[in-house]
């Protein structure tokens, strides 16, 4: 057992339902045994109740739950920063040529390690990961995630049209390859499988039918939805009988409580209603939306329809793996929307980066906050002395204000420690400076 003395901050409540400040919780210590939080309270109280237990002091900064990224592409970790193009042209020019390289097993292995080490260095301990088009590359990702103990939900990306020929397969091959991966990796430790057509633009009805055949009781589903106007126009042409983009998935039974759709920047009210009816979720990826000029995410309409929303970095269209930066971008976008936007507090931002993601991925009983009984997946955000963030934390009025300054100024360099189910992660990218 270990007692961690820290400024422990999380959002067990829902800031979108009532007073945001009431969703925030703060304590001075956690008792952790076998990777699970066994007690929480003041440092003095935990030390008195558990005399003789070793104490690890995490002084300065905040200890928050491990971040949950609900949309990120592992094969694109080497392709961040492609500027100046909208979605479909960006895919052809930057993303898909890189994804083709994962046909090479050694390349895929290196990319998987770089991707997962990048997640850990950014404080992300759970993620819904958009996979590769190549099954052996998926074995590399799952094996490397298992080795690191991370909560990873992922699956083979399948498509049978409108992409580079080397990224296409048939519904029969996609079904066989996916079923094989699913059988070997789903529900193995902290790993789970997600059926993953790239988007209905690149998936025929036959391919979407194959996806539906894979969806068992506890299998996840993820894809893209309503990201860009040219994409939506093409989907409308390809599926003349469909009512809207979401219908291309829903008519195959692919909209469920375990479905996560990335983007949804341009939804109709009918689509929002359908998402809410099926308890499906949306991964909001603001920096990607900005980089590709996709549009300003209508968060208020999602919340008013009762659609679950969490955050995704959408690397490589997104500009990095650090989820607090994504939360800041979400805040900016809502400000830019004016009266149509939702003014987000720092409590909303912490919730979106942690518990909202856990709820979206059905992991809320295990991660997303630091309550007793949860896994000890945590990030210690402590800036270097003398940094502008350190200066600002010194002048923070209260915990919410400290969070605001972390979201405004924080970078992966401020990640002073990451715990994955109670084990402090070794990060190749950011060795512990203290």
Return the residue matching tokens 């979605």.
87
Residue 98, interface with Zn ion (CB under 5 A)? Answer: no
Nearer to Zn ion, 294 or 345 (CB): 294
Closest distance to Zn ion from the beta carbon of 275 (Å) = 17
Q: Of 130 and 376, which CB lies nearer to Zn ion in the complex structure? A: 130
Backbone angles phi, psi at 176, to 5 degrees: -65, -45
CB of 155 to Zn ion, least distance (A): 14
Residue in the block written with tokens 């990335």: 262
Closer of 321 and 389 to Zn ion (Cβ): 321
- Give the nearest distance from C-beta 138 to Zn ion in angstroms: 17
Q: Which is nearer to Zn ion, 133 or 382 (CB)?
A: 133
Q: How far is CA 189 from CA 155, 260, 272, in A?
A: 16, 21, 34
Q: Which of 99, 314, 377, 414 binds Zn ion (CB under 5 A)?
A: 314
Q: CB of 289: closest distance to Zn ion in angstroms? A: 11
In the complex, minimum distance from the CB of residue 141 to Zn ion, in angstroms, rounded to a whole number: 16
Closest approach, Cβ 224 to Zn ion, in A, equals 6
Token digits for 213? 């055949």
Strand 55-65 and strand 378-381: the pairing is antiparallel
Main-chain dihedrals φ then ψ at residue 400, nearest 5 degrees: -65, -40
| Pattern 256-295, Zn ion, x by CB under 5 A | ------x---------------------------------
Q: Min. distance of Cβ 136 from Zn ion in angstroms?
A: 22
Segment contacting Zn ion by CB under 5 A, of 297-305, 312-320, 323-331, 371-379? 312-320
List binders of Zn ion among 42-81 (CB under 5 A).
none
Q: Return d(Cα 373, Cα 86) in angstroms, integer.
A: 45
Interface segment toward Zn ion; rule CB under 5 A; list 25-33, 60-68, 310-318, 357-365: 310-318
Size of site (CB under 5 A) for Zn ion: 2
Closest approach, Cβ 328 to Zn ion, in A, equals 20
Is the Cβ of residue 177 or residue 314 nearer to Zn ion in the bound state?
Answer: 314
Calculate ∠ Cα 296-120-372, nearest 5°: 95
Could you tell me which stretch among 44-52, 59-67, 313-321, 404-412 binds Zn ion (CB under 5 A)?
A: 313-321
Nearer to Zn ion, 314 or 369 (CB): 314
Helices (H), 378-417: 388-394, 399-409
* Of residues 254 and 404, the one with the C-beta less far from Zn ion: 254
Nearest Cα residue to 116 out of 142, 136, 81, 134: 142
Taking the C-alpha atoms of residue 142 and residue 193, their distance in angstroms, rounded to an integer, is: 10
| Cβ distance to Zn ion smaller for residue 140 or 314 | 314
* Eight-class DSSP state of 188: B
The single-letter DSSP state of residue 85 is -
Stretch that binds Zn ion, among 112-120, 156-164, 314-322, 409-417 (CB under 5 A): 314-322
* Beta bridge partner(s), residue 310: 283
Instruction: Name the one range near Zn ion by CB under 5 A: 50-58, 144-152, 214-222, 307-315.
Output: 307-315
Smallest distance from Zn ion to CB 196, Å: 10
**CA distance linking residue 5 with residue 315, whole number of Å:** 34
Q: Which is nearer to Zn ion, 69 or 314 (CB)?
A: 314
> Do 31 and 39 form a contact (C-beta atoms < 8 A)?
yes
Q: Strand locations in 292-412, DSSP E?
A: 308-311, 378-381
Contacts of 240 (CB under 8 A, 6+ apart): none
Q: Which residue has the tokens 């929307």?
A: 337
If the CB atoms of residues 3 and 315 are measured against Zn ion, the closer one turns out to be 315
Q: At its nearest, how many Å lie between Zn ion and the CB of residue 75?
A: 11
Q: What are phi and psi of 295, to 5 degrees?
A: 140, 180
Q: Which stretch binds Zn ion (CB under 5 A): 90-98, 255-263, 276-284, 422-430?
A: 255-263
CB of 199 to Zn ion, least distance (A): 9
Q: Report the residue number, 5 or 318, with the smaller CB distance to Zn ion.
A: 318
| Cis peptide bond upstream of 255, omega within 30 | no
DSSP string, 122-187: TTEEEEEEE--SSHHHHHHHHHHHHHHT-EEEEE-EE--SSS-GGG---HHHHHHHHHHHHHHHTT
Residues that bind Zn ion (CB under 5 A): 262, 314
């Amino acid at each position: 057992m270990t007692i961690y003395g820290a400024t422990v901050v999380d959002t067990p409540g829902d800031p979108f339902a009532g007073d945001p400040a009431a969703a925030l919780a703060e304590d001075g210590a956690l008792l952790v045994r076998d990777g699970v939080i066994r007690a929480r309270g003041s440092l003095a109280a935990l030390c008195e109740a558990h005399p003789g237990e070793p104490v690890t002091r995490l002084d300065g900064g905040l200890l928050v739950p491990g971040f949950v990224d609900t949309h990120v592409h592992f094969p694109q970790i080497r392709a961040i920063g492609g500027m100046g193009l909208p979605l479909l042209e960006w895919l052809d020019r930057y993303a898909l040529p890189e994804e083709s390289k994962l046909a090479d097993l050694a390349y895929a292995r290196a990319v998987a390690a770089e991707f997962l080490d990048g997640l850990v260095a950014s404080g992300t301990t759970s993620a819904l990961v958009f996979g590769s088009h190549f099954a052996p590359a998926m074995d590399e990702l799952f094996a490397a995630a298992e080795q690191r103990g991370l909560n990873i939900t992922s699956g083979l990306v399948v498509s049978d049209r409108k992409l580079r020929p080397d990224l296409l397969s048939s519904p029969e091959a996609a079904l066989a390859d996916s079923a094989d991966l699913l059988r070997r990796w789903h529900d193995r430790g902290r790993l789970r499988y997600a059926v993953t057509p790239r988007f209905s633009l690149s998936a025929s009805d036959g391919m979407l039918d194959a996806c539906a055949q894979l969806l068992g009781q506890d299998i996840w589903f993820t894809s893209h939805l309503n990201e860009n106007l040219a994409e939506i126009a093409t989907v409308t042409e390809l599926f003349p009988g469909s009512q809207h983009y979401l219908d291309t998935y829903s008519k195959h039974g692919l909209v469920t409580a375990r479905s996560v759709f990335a983007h949804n920047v341009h939804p109709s009210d009918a689509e929002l209603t359908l998402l809410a009816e099926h308890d499906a979720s949306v991964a909001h990826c603001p920096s990607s939306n900005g980089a590709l000029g996709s549009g300003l995410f209508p968060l208020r309409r999602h919340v008013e329809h009762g659609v679950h929303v969490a955050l995704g970095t959408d690397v490589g269209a997104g500009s990095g793996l650090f989820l607090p930066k994504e939360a800041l971008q979400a805040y900016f976008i809502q400000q830019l929307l004016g009266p149509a936007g939702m003014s987000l507090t720092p409590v909303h931002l912490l919730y979106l980066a942690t518990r909202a993601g856990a709820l979206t991925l059905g992991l809320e009983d295990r991660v997303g906050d630091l309550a007793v009984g949860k896994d000890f997946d945590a990030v210690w955000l402590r800036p270097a002395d003398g940094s502008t963030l350190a200066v600002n934390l010194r002048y923070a009025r209260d915990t919410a204000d400290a969070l605001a300054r972390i979201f405004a100024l924080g970078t992966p360099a401020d990640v002073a420690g990451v715990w994955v189910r109670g084990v402090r992660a070794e990060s190749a990218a950011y060795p512990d400076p203290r």
